Structure 1
Amino acid sequence: MRRKINWPRCPSMREELIQKIKKAGVVGAGGAGFPTHVKVNSKARTVLVNGAECEPLLRVDQQLMAGQAPKVVMGLELVMSVTGAKEGIISLKHKYHDAISALEKEISGKPIRIHILDDFYPAGDEHVTVYESTGRLVPQGSIPLKVDCVVHNVETLLNIVDAVADQPVTDTYLTITGEVNQPLTLRLPIGTSISEALAIAGYHDSEGMQVIEGGPMMGKIVADLHQPITKTTKGLIVLPREHPLLRLKTLPADKVLRQSRASCVQCRFCTDLCPRYLLGHRLEPHKIMRMVNYGQGQEETMKMAFACSECGVCEQYACIMGLSPRAVNALLKKELTRLGIKPSPSPADQAVDPLQPHRKIPVKRLISRLALQDYDRNAPLQEKDYPIDRVAIKLCQHVGAPSVPIVKAGQRVKKGDPIASPPAKGLGSYLHASIDGVVQEITDSILISAREGSETQPWNPSV
């Protein structure tokens, strides 16, 4: 059943819709969680849907596009209307047959086209997606808006449609895969513990295992399975502790640097295969490694690290010595930021390398290189309401400053009630209760429990 939307026909209506998106707490669901109301409050020629989902094993976006195509297109049309865009593009891989078929039916007669991507990594890198889909080159260190383009994740569009209907963000979709009984893609309340999410997929014994939150390339090791999922959690991957993928992810910083000094042979494969270098960014990881090893190049070479997207190609695919230029770049970025050193300006002569089309990393080959063939399985989407009775909603799960609690311990809240607001000054997002229950505690998270037996008081939105 299609939902009717009143498209913005005047500035006041446009502002009302932007405020609805803000009040609903919509942030980018597929990346760092940039507050969406800020991104849509702009003018652009093109709105691009990033449906590449280039990380191996994850299944969320492709299944949402296939199963909720009308809503995805509705969200795209809404953002086009708010931004004044004349063109909408849905970029997704050729292997997502069901999604392509469903979307083609919905875009007929509309100023929207589908752009078919090859199955390569990192097709979902925002800079790569924009270039592949439009031919426009986002300047180094800049955002797609610089080339008249706004990019949104698939689930973000669904949340925008809900926001217009006054339904806030309370749940997120994520794929649970790896060493689990049944890989699944689930919709769960934000704040559900990772251990409880894994239990739904039949994983109970963590002995000898480790969990990656996110994809195998850019995801992080989960230190505590009791920590909660957030608005941006898109995957949980369970792997044996001795799996080779985990070696570099668990390497201490001092050992990363020692190995780099001892083993880098300056083959420059890390540079030749770097997706950002191939788009003309001033980023040559082999020179950074040389500088770390021999002290050559100094500040300008170190500042190249700011251009690194930490996609992991150099670390998990390119380096023949098993080193991690990605980790070196991450360490340098932190140190340079601490010292107050800023990135260099975008190169005026930025141009795509002629070999860029031939140096894309095939996902099948990447899966083999990562030793993940046994885990490359379907993860069917389960649209169920799972009985979660306790959530811990982090105050900071988005780009910007932490949200400010507007509830107190002991208050009863219902799912969808606002529990935290953006700071008075600075970038931020609203947070909402993801279950019915009582606020138990407020620290860096708001803990809500559905269990009876706590002292309660009525929820008051003016508090």
Structure 2
Amino acid sequence: MLDKIFEAGVVGAGGAGFPTHVKYKARAEVFIVNAIECEPLLRTDRHIVEAFAPEIVAASLRIKAHLGADRAVIAVKEHNAGMVDALRKAAEGKAVELYLSPSVYPAGDEQNLIHCVTGRVVPTGGLPLDVGCVVSNAATVYQVYEALQGRPVTDKVITIGGAVRNPITVQAPIGTPLADLPALAGGPVGDCVYIIGGPLMGRVAESLEGESVTKTTGGLLAIPREAALLGRKDGDLQREVRMARAVCCQCSMCTQMCPRNAMGLNVQPHKIMRALAAGNCGLIGGETNGVWSCCDCGICTYYACNFGLHPSKMMQVYKDRMRKEGARPVKEVRYEPQGFETKRLPTGRLLSRLDLEKYDADAPFAGTVETPVVRIPLKMHTGGPDRPVVTAGTAVQKGQLIAEPEGLGARIHASIAGTVTQVTGQYIEIRMVT
């Protein structure tokens, strides 16, 4: 099974991009399929599960057997009736469980989900395997099914949403120019920038020129320039430090609402805010190990802080500082989970706070995108860039191998049939022959 997954180039499709054939070189007690779709406004998992529930169940059983796991659990939000019905029908009479999650954020966070399904807590600096678990995104599991049939990863399901006229979900060849996608949804409404990914953890792009669909792209959201969300995603570091010094009142709401802190991982953003604002790291009081457990979900920034400060950004700054200084996390769960169930943030409240509820619309599947040219990045995964095995002028078929990993990585295949027109250190361009 691992050989077929490697040959197909499967990586974590939910955003991490970790090579799946490496992740599955393990033994585990519980295999969890994450179909929760953590970020609001995205509908990719919904389409994949509703369309391919039998395939996902079949692949889950294969993976469960390979891992030697006692349980296979598919996690989905309980309000997504179409997904729940499709999975119940596909799993009937099979050794697969369903976990139905309330609509809270960040329910799809890997460690959050493990705690909800098993009651276990992944320690700071640890991996799911430390508590006997392996977790894969629903799209990844479907790609594993395809790999077992001998079909490589060539396409990605993406939601085109936000401030567009007709939000849709499409399947696009990897390497499709992102600039071509908004028009498929009727184009943006007003003067917009784009978020590649979800609204909270995705990155802002002023322009889509040079941006392509990758194996981990899940969404493309048009966001009006005046939206409050963008102000919370942006910000100069020195300005943030000055603002924290001026207005942070140490109310500790950022820490109180942190889901990782509630799991006992001692994540305390208010102390990092205090230390960086004062320029005195001693004010953290030696409580630095929990910083490694921050997953950058953004609850502290987008919801908890009433002053519009950016604790999550400060956490990442401090984490980078520790990394550069050679610090390493100590594996620990500092204390027993405290108040976890009472600190789960309803997604509707989060969308309302960010003034995004008007974009929380259905995004029906609109078919497969056809594109005459793709630029396929050589790095879409954890590890280094792949080594091209084709040159300019090579004729390729869809699914043909075009790049190999050197060390940790994943194979890359042509996503359309055509001729290779460019090979650079960053991408391989293929043009369809007309």
Q: Bin the TM-score by the shorter chain.
A: over 0.9
Contact preservation (8 Å) 2:172, 2:370 = no
What residue is the counterpart of 2:416 in the other structure?
A: 435
**Distance in 2 (alpha carbons) for counterparts of 1:252 and 1:442:** 36
**Distance in 2 (alpha carbons) for counterparts of 1:187 and 1:115:** 27
**Distance in 2 (alpha carbons) for counterparts of 1:46 and 1:431:** 30
What residue is the counterpart of 1:408 in the other structure?
A: 391
What per-residue deviation string (whole Å, max 9, x for no partner) do you get for residues 217-242 of structure 1?
11110243021011111111101101
**Distance in 2 (alpha carbons) for counterparts of 1:201 and 1:331:** 36
**Distance in 2 (alpha carbons) for counterparts of 1:301 and 1:223:** 37
Instruction: Map 1:22-37 to 2 at 5 A.
Output: 22-37=6-21
What residue is the counterpart of 2:379 in the other structure?
A: 396
User: 2:312 is matched by which residue type in structure 1?
Assistant: R
**Distance in 2 (alpha carbons) for counterparts of 1:152 and 1:332:** 29
Contact preservation (8 Å) 2:31, 2:64 = yes
- What is the deviation of 1:204? 6.3
| 3-state SS of 2:156 partner | strand
TM-score under structure 2 length normalisation = 0.96
What per-residue deviation string (whole Å, max 9, x for no partner) do you get for residues 19-57 of structure 1?
110010000100211100011121111110111112111
Matched, 1:77 2:58: no
Contact preservation (8 Å) 2:176, 2:375 = yes
Matched, 1:326 2:312: yes
Contact preservation (8 Å) 1:418, 1:431 = yes
What residue is the counterpart of 1:458 in the other structure?
A: none
Unaligned runs of 5+ in 2: none
User: 2:291 is matched by which residue type in structure 1?
Assistant: A
| 3-state SS of 1:221 partner | strand
- What is the deviation of 1:333? 2.1
- What is the deviation of 1:301? 4.2
What residue is the counterpart of 2:428 in the other structure?
A: 446
What per-residue deviation string (whole Å, max 9, x for no partner) do you get for residues 221-280 of structure 1?
024302101111111110110100000212122222222222211010000000110111
Contact preservation (8 Å) 2:163, 2:188 = no
Aligned partner of 1:313 among 290, 295, 299: 299
Instruction: Map 1:44-63 to 2 at 5 A.
Output: 44-63=28-47
What per-residue deviation string (whole Å, max 9, x for no partner) do you get for residues 183-210 of structure 1?
00111001111111222112168x7211
Matched, 1:158 2:142: yes
| Root-mean-square deviation over aligned CA pairs | 1.6
How many equivalent residue pairs?
430
- What is the deviation of 1:63? 2.3
What residue is the counterpart of 1:13 in the other structure?
A: none
Contact preservation (8 Å) 2:19, 2:381 = yes
Matched, 1:373 2:354: no
Segment of structure 1 superposing worse, 150-159 or 82-91 = 82-91
What residue is the counterpart of 1:460 in the other structure?
A: none
Contact preservation (8 Å) 2:159, 2:363 = yes
Tell me the percent identity: 39
What residue is the counterpart of 2:120 in the other structure?
A: 136
Unaligned runs of 5+ in 1: 1-16, 453-463
Call closer, same or farther: CA 1:348–1:175 in 2, change over 3 Å: closer
**Distance in 2 (alpha carbons) for counterparts of 1:259 and 1:342:** 29
Matched, 1:385 2:371: no
**Distance in 2 (alpha carbons) for counterparts of 1:274 and 1:385:** 39
**Distance in 2 (alpha carbons) for counterparts of 1:395 and 1:320:** 42
TM-score under structure 1 length normalisation = 0.90
Instruction: Map 1:262-281 to 2 at 5 A.
Output: 262-281=246-265
